[in-house]
Amino acid sequence: MPRAGGTQQRPEPRDLTDLVPNHVRADLAVAVAVLEQYGPAVTDALRQLDQATTAARQALSPVDPTEDEWRLVERATGIDRGWDVAYRLVSTLDPPGQGRSPA
């Protein structure tokens, strides 16, 4: 039955939590605990990697390095390793068909 103003009242959402297997709940609890503990440090490290990469590029800008020269600097300083790890982290966040549903 429509409420005043012509909008329909939506039914209360069902609590379907009991349908999630216990081992999945346990896996989620561990994942959330690890993210809560280490997530801020990882976020800070990614920010620092980005800022340091920018600073390294700026430091080299007066000599206008070639891409090959920049790759040598990336290898020597660890920039390439840092970004490889960062991209691996990001690539695992949204497996195909498993994106978060809108809240």
State if pTM tops 0.85: no
CB 77 within 8 A of CB 56: yes
Q: What is the pLDDT of residues 59-83, one digit of tens each?
A: 999 999 999 999 999 999 999 999 9
Q: How many CB atoms lie within 10 A of CB 60?
A: 13
Q: What is the pLDDT of residues 13-41, one digit of tens each?
A: 999 999 999 999 999 999 999 999 999 99
Share of the chain residues as helix, strand and coil, in percent rounded to the nearest 5: 65, 0, 30
Q: Is the pLDDT of residue 103 over 60?
A: no
Boundaries of every domain in the chain: 20-91
